[in-house]
Structure 1
Amino acid sequence: MDREVEEIHRQHAELLARIADEPWPVPLPQEVPVMRERGVGRVFVYGIELEVDGRIRVCVDCGAERDWLVINQDEHVWVRCRCGHQWYEPQLTRYWFLAAWMDDEGPAFATLEDAIVGYGFDGALRGSYWN
């Protein structure tokens, strides 16, 4: 793992330790770093219901209520359903992503498309839940 990623992990762990006892939602500080390679992105599988501003998100294409692929590219967070539908979620920030990511050490993929297929969010598993 390169030094920049290690530093992000270290700062993420410090951030989680600082906010562990605070009620949610917690305003996350602005000092969380951005990866230097713009546009590369990171992903993780969010297997539970996704609540944003007090509302559970539901896929408009298939009606799924949980089991999302959450994608962080630059400053934006996208949510993708197993049916292949994807949308930009403006209320979810890079800081939310880092707090929810929890140092996911899942498989490494060369491209975002590889991650989408590898995690099963390309539409082939439409209607399936893993959790």
Structure 2
Amino acid sequence: MDDLPPADLRLDLDRNRFMIWRRPLVIDGEVRACPTCESYRDLAILATQGRVWLRCSAGHVTPEPRLDIAWYNRHCGPTDATFDTLEEGLSEYGL
């Protein structure tokens, strides 16, 4: 399967991006929860430097090696806003 979306809409690896994942995130049949607080909803999925990280609403950040930039590109949809900092963006989404 091709890496979607089209090349002109794909993640720029030199820029930090994130999306909010409101529902439980299921990876390999397992609901992914924060290893610190066990939160499993309203995760920020961060993509930076070619890796994917998860940030729970309590602010714990953990790498997710089972997800890659191709997965991020397939699930992110179009960007509807840009923010100077991650905290500014998360605040805009109420996290």
- TM-score, structure 1 normalization: 0.59
- Could you say which residue in structure 2 is the equivalent of 1:113? 87
For the aligned residue pairs, the C-alpha RMSD in angstroms reads 2.3
Give percent identity, aligned residues only: 27
Q: 1:82 & 1:64 partners in 2: Cα distance? A: 8
Between the two proteins, the alignment pairs up a number of residues equal to 91
- Could you say which residue in structure 2 is the equivalent of 1:60? 35
Q: Where do 1:10-49 residues align within 5 Å?
A: 12=5, 14=6, 35=12, 38=14, 40-49=15-24
- Could you say which residue in structure 1 is the equivalent of 2:73? 98
The Cα of 1:62 is off from its aligned counterpart by: 2.0
* Alpha carbons 1:82, 1:120 under 8 Å: kept: no
Please list every run of 5 or more consecutive structure 2 residues that lacks an aligned counterpart in the other structure: none
The Cα of 1:35 is off from its aligned counterpart by: 1.6
Bigger radius of gyration: 1
- Comparing both structures, which one devotes a greater share of its residues to strand? 2
- TM-score, structure 2 normalization: 0.79
Q: 1:120 & 1:86 partners in 2: Cα distance? A: 17
Relative distance call for 1:104 and 1:47 in structure 2 (3 A) is farther
Please list every run of 5 or more consecutive structure 1 residues that lacks an aligned counterpart in the other structure: 1-10, 16-31, 122-131
Q: 1:33 & 1:103 partners in 2: Cα distance? A: 9
